């Protein structure tokens, strides 16, 4: 049986051999992209729609499509529920809303949009019809108009450069705009008491960059550096299953090494 030390030496030797065998490669990837799957409790809501409980009272919501997307539901100190982004469709949003009612009863519920794409807000119309206030940036409304989007805009607007802070009893939530990224209007949502940051579509949790049609590729990594101010144990990406804080640095790395 190998001792721990023998195993360690073996690994080091292997790394040296592998390293020496590739002398031409000047840029080694700094990040490894092995699958990261915490054993979070999974709750299936409907076909292709499930939640993972990442903290007590905080759920990552995932709708599986050709490019699965994440939203977030958080129970605040005063029992208000904060939903960050909707699933891709009205139907999935209705299913999710039904689960929330079943689980929590008649609670105050608000929604925050982190951008103008479908995976951020295609369910707005349904939630608004159910009396849910939807917070969003002024620029998000402008971009919805510019793109002739069929989706309902947010109902409660704030100037994007100022961001937004909402209070729920003893707990706050902060919406922050770091500058242009994957879209011109993507914002992040920070729950300081939980050390939880919803990074949304500007942060990649799957090892790739995806759709860049509306992106500012020069500004994006610069904007991401400003997220280092947030102390977070969990960072939730718009897409992907990695919820650890290093995904911010991983995304910067991906952007800086794009062809």
CB of 55 to Zn ion, least distance (A): 22
- Residue number, 76 or 96, with CB nearest to Zn ion: 96
* CA 207/CA 1 separation, integer angstroms: 36
The reply on whether position 201 binds Zn ion by CB under 5 A is: yes
Count of chain residues binding Zn ion (CB under 5 A): 3
Judge contact between 239 and 85, C-beta under 8 A. Answer: no
> Does residue 85 belong to the site contacting Zn ion (CB under 5 A)?
no
Element (DSSP H or E) covering residue 125: helix 124-129
CB proximity list for 253: less than 8 A, separation 6 or greater: 29, 30, 31
Tell whether residue 153 is a contact of Zn ion (CB under 5 A): no
Spatial separation of the C-alpha atoms in residues 258 and 134, rounded to whole Å: 35
Least distance in angstroms from the C-beta of 102 to Zn ion: 27
Per CB under 5 A, 202 contacts Zn ion: no
Q: Residue 87, SS3?
A: coil
Give the C-alpha separation, 112 to 165, whole Å.
11
Q: Judged by CB under 5 A, which stretch of 15-23, 34-42, 112-120, 126-134 contacts Zn ion?
A: 112-120
Candidates 19-27, 121-129, 133-141, 235-243; binding stretch for Zn ion (CB under 5 A) = 235-243
| Residue number, 119 or 214, with CB nearest to Zn ion | 119
Q: Which of 238, 247, 248, 254 binds Zn ion (CB under 5 A)?
A: 238
Tokens of 116: 């103008």
Least distance from Zn ion to the Cβ atom of residue 72, Å: 13
Q: Is 119 in the site for Zn ion (CB under 5 A)?
A: yes
Q: Which residues 6+ apart lie within 8 Å of 98 measured at CB?
A: none
**Chain positions contacting Zn ion, by CB under 5 A:** 119, 201, 238
């Amino acid at each position: 049986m190998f001792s721990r030390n023998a195993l360690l030496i073996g690994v080091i030797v292997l790394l040296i051999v592998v390293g020496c065998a590739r002398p031409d490669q000047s840029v080694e990837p700094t990040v490894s992209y092995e699958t990261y799957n915490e054993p979070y409790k999974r709750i299936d809501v409907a076909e292709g729609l499930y939640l993972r409980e990442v903290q007590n009272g905080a759920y990552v919501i995932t709708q599986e499509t050709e490019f699965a997307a994440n939203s977030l539901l958080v129970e605040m100190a005063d029992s208000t529920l904060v939903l960050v982004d909707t699933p891709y469709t009205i139907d999935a949003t209705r299913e999710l809303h039904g689960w929330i009612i079943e689980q929590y009863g008649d609670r105050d519920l608000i929604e925050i949009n982190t951008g103008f794409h479908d995976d951020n807000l295609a369910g707005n119309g349904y939630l608004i019809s159910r009396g849910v206030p939807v917070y969003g940036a002024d620029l998000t409304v402008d971009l919805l108009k510019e793109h002739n989007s069929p989706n309902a805009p947010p109902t409660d607007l704030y100037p994007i450069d100022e961001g937004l802070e909402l209070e729920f009893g003893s707990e706050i939530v902060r919406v922050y705009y770091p500058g242009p990224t994957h879209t011109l209007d993507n914002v992040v949502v920070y729950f300081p008491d939980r050390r939880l940051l919803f990074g949304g579509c500007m942060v990649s949790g799957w090892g790739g960059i995806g759709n860049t049609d509306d992106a500012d590729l020069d500004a994006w990594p610069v904007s991401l550096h400003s997220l280092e101010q947030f102390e977070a144990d969990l960072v939730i990406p718009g897409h992907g299953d990695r919820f650890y804080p290093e995904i911010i640095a991983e995304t910067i790395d991906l952007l800086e090494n794009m062809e």
